[in-house]
Copies of this chain bind each other. A is one copy, B any other.
């Protein structure tokens, strides 16, 4: 149950309407917890009903912008959730499954797919590094900025690790192919 808490965090950072949240998700919080606009609207209504957020006064109805802000109860709930004990989710990666399957049904064209992933991870890394340079200049050293940078660092390390792994995988496939040619 993390999406409502992601929304509370985003709304504490800045009160917003649903679509604006959806767009902000695409370029910051969503890097670590993706959500579609349908999910976001549904959760915002639930949060409002639970008293965690309120919509700023406006004539309601379909198509009318509704700006939400966090209520004290929502802030308290977020704090409670941050301190909660939650085990890390196990790794879940389809590419690992596919590699294991390829070990049995292969050889296949999986190396081409790994090359494609390598490009995507490099692009994502470049994006993160750009954000890092733009949002966290050396002189900015507030508690909040340093903690947010720590989150971004996790993303950067994540991408670097996958880039290294893809390269290692491609090297192995090349070696296996050459060994296979000699048979």
Contact = CB atoms under 8 A, between A and B. Distances in A.
Interface string A109-129: 110010011001100000000
A6 B89 CA distance: 18
A156 to B, nearest CB: 10
Interface string A13-52: 1000000000000000111111000000000000000000
Contact of A99 (B75, B85, B100, B150): B150
B93 A89 contact: yes
**Copy number in this complex?**
2
Interface stretch (A57-65, A130-138, A139-147): A139-147
Contacts of A99: 147, 150-151
A132 to B, nearest CB: 15
Given A82-B106, A110-B83, A92 B172 contact: no
Given A31-B90, A83-B110, A143-B176, A101 B9 contact: yes
B78 A34 contact: no
A96 B5 contact: no
A178 interface: no
The 4 nearest A-B residue pairs measured at CB: A103-B147, A32-B96, A9-B101, A103-B144
